[in-house]
Amino acid sequence: MSGLGEVAGEAGTEDARLSERLHRTLLRFNHARLAPGFPTEGWRAAVQEETQLRLLEGEYVEAERQRVAAWAAEAPEDADGFIAWFEDLKESGPGQHDPLFPWLATQATREQMDWFLTQEVAGEAGFDDLVALTQLQLPTRAKLELARNYWDEMGRGREDAMHGPMLAEMAQKLGLKPTDEDTVWEAHALANLLCAFAFNRRYTYHAVGALGIVEETAPGRTARVNEGLKRLGFDMRVRRYYALHSTLDVKHSETWNKEVLRPLVEANPACARPLAEGALLRLTAGARCFERYRHELGLDLKSLS
């Protein structure tokens, strides 16, 4: 039995190494294709390299889709049934009620909180850009709701209220210095998944489902992080990103379900399956992060229960 355990452990370590290499490669790819650039003489070679990376990205997403296919197939194709199924994911979905977050709220030290937040900042994919990419050519009603969501992300035109810079400001005030190398691959995988959905139009409905489930499930987690930061003595200038999302995303979720998910499924019931897959894949990626965070922080599930 010990020999089998050693083999399994070695296999798991090798799988982790492969996953880390894959997601660091895709991370660099996503940084490059999001960044504004200039024409170069080597554009043909760049396009050929991009094609290979997009194939690698597609193979990753398709493998992940297979993992949730049976569960996603259970999603109803009528609008009322689908919305009920989707909203239940807040209770039954992967990673929900993870004990990491009550622990962050009540027990984490400053050093432990800093490590967690560094992972969160480094793994941030840019919700505003993801929404902007996803809304292309969507039906009017859904497009308008994504526009309203985007406007909130952009601080309704006020630079000091933009959500992305708000997160960066928190990192600066806490003295966090996130680097790609010091971030666990699971955090990169989550960002890579969302970028794959948003960049590839064949995954449009996956993107809509993934972004919608972020809005639905984020308030509980962000509220716990805000509690932890408050307990550690930080004022609202540091906490406002998490404090804001613990309340604003409740409204975002309600309107996303009403104005985006419902009309899409009503117009075309075939949308239900990819919407469900996108939600489940985003939750699964998040659950992997939480498990890895607990491991790195030395948390025992038994002691947390």
Q: Return the CATH number at 171.
A: 1.20.910.10
Model confidence, pTM: 0.93
Give backbone dihedrals phi and psi of 273, rounded to 5 degrees, phi first: -60, -55
At 42 the three-state DSSP class reads: coil
On whether residue 130 sits in a domain, the answer given is: yes
So what's the pLDDT on residue 272? 98
User: Residues 32-70: pLDDT tens digits?
Assistant: 999 999 999 999 999 999 999 999 999 999 999 999 999
Residue 46 lies in a domain: no
Share of the chain above pLDDT 90, in %: 88
10 in a structural domain: no
Q: Which of 189, 256, 192 is nearest to 218 (CA)?
A: 256
CA distance 185 to 27: 10
Residue 41 lies in a domain: no
The total of structural domains in the chain comes to: 1
Q: What pLDDT score does 305 carry?
A: 60
pLDDT band at 12 (very low <50, low <70, confident <90, very high): low
pLDDT tens digits, residue range 169-181?
999 999 999 888 8
DSSP code of residue 258 = I
Q: Which domain holds residue 211?
A: 85-297
Q: Would residue 254 count as lying in a domain? A: yes
The per-residue pLDDT for range 69-127, each reduced to its tens digit, is 999 999 999 999 999 999 999 999 999 999 999 999 999 999 999 999 999 998 888 99
60-75 tens-digit pLDDT: 999 999 999 999 999 9
Q: Is residue 220 part of a domain?
A: yes
The answer to whether the CB of 211 falls within 8 A of the CB of 281 is no
- Residue 7 covered by a domain: no
> Could you tell me if residue 99 is inside a domain?
yes
Average pLDDT, the chain: 93
Closest CA to 206 of 152, 275, 145: 275
